């Protein structure tokens, strides 16, 4: 693959812009400037530099973010800044999309990719991909609430019954809220909040800690992201 084509594929701008970056000496290969846009490179496992920053080549982008509160999972937001503003320009230009959405006040594991087939696979209701939520509830979580969440509850404005694949009390938390770990395999709008409302409790804090086979990396700070290699990390 030609170097200019490689930069283009990784989101560094229009073809002309990529050529411009290269001829003006802003691109390095193995630490050395390469100013020939037609230089042939083997993209596999290639790490290249652009303006001093190192980038691994990824045919398809797949990243995990620890979503902070105060950002919306939408390109055109209504009330808060967009979560896409936390991504670097090359990823935005690659048109990565979040795999599902989290509410503005929900934190935790959020995936992004430019692989449309993967988005479909992971969000299809037929696949039942598990999502794990750490819920901070306003009221103590009772055994009866757990039993109802597992048996299935009806949400306001939605006749279909939804049930949790798993639900366990995790005890009172440092913030005084009552902990509940909930695993859902479907993804309806505000589902956790609506399910807890259906059992007469209330979500005060919500964090997603797992998606498919993936657990949010413990060292990933809120607002930060990292590359994931291989969808097998996610697909259960």
Asked if 207 touches ligand URA (CB under 6 A), the answer is no
Q: How far is the CB of 106 from ligand URA (least distance, A)?
A: 3
β-partners of residue 132 are 183, 210
Output the six-digit token pair for 26. 């802003």
Segment contacting ligand URA by CB under 6 A, of 16-24, 53-61, 167-175, 188-196: 188-196
Q: List the end-to-end C-alpha distance of the chain, in Å, as a whole number.
A: 33
Options 109-117, 147-155, 157-165, 187-195: segment touching ligand URA (CB under 6 A): 187-195
* Residue 175 annotated to the active site: no
Gap between the Cα atoms of 71 and 84, Å rounded: 9
106, 69 contact by CB (below 8 A): yes
CB of 148 to ligand URA, least distance (A): 17
Q: According to CB under 6 A, which residues from 82 to 141 bind ligand URA?
A: 102-103, 106
**CB-wise, 103 or 168, nearer to ligand URA?**
103
Please choose, out of 34-42, 110-118, 186-194, 214-222, the segment that lies near ligand URA by the rule CB under 6 A. 186-194
Report, in Å, the least distance between residue 162 CB and ligand URA: 11
Q: Is 193 in the site for ligand URA (CB under 6 A)?
A: yes
Among 99, 192, 228, 234, which residue sits at the site for ligand URA (rule: CB under 6 A)? Answer: 192
Whose CA is closest to 165, among 206, 195, 197?
A: 195
Number of residues this chain uses to bind ligand URA (CB under 6 A): 8
Spatial CA neighbour of 158 closest among 126, 198, 119:
198
Q: Which of 35, 36, 103, 158 is catalytic?
A: 103
For the stretch 43-47, contacts whose Cβ atoms lie closer than 8 Å and that sit 24 or more positions apart, written own/partner, are: 43/1, 43/6, 43/9, 46/6
Distance between CA 133 and CA 131 in Å, rounded? Answer: 7
**CA–CA gap between residue 205 and residue 164 (Å, rounded):** 18
Binding site for ligand URA (CB under 6 A): 102-103, 106, 190-193, 206
Catalytic residues: 103
């Amino acid at each position: 693959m030609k170097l200019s084509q490689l930069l283009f594929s990784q989101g560094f701008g229009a073809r002309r812009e990529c050529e411009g970056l290269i001829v003006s000496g802003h691109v390095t290969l193995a630490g050395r400037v390469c100013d020939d846009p037609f230089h042939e490179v083997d993209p596999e496992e290639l790490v290249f530099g652009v303006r001093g920053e190192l980038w691994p080549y990824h045919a398809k982008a797949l990243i995990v973010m620890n979503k902070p509160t105060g950002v919306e999972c939408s390109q055109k937001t209504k009330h808060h800044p967009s979560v896409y503003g936390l991504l670097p320009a090359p990823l935005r230009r690659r048109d990565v999309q979040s795999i599902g959405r989290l509410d503005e006040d929900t934190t935790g594991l959020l995936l992004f990719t430019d692989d449309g087939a993967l988005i479909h696979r992971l969000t299809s209701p037929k696949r039942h991909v598990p999502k794990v939520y750490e819920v901070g509830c306003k009221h103590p979580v009772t055994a009866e609430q757990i039993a109802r969440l597992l048996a299935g509850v009806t949400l306001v404005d939605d006749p279909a019954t939804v049930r949790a694949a798993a639900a366990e009390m995790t005890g009172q938390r440092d913030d005084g809220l009552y902990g509940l770990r909930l695993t859902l395999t479907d993804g309806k709008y505000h589902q956790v909040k609506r399910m807890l409302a259906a059992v007469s409790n209330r979500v005060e804090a919500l964090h997603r800690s797992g998606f498919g086979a993936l657990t949010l990396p413990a060292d990933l700070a809120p607002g930060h992201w990292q590359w994931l290699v291989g969808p097998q990390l996610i697909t259960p």
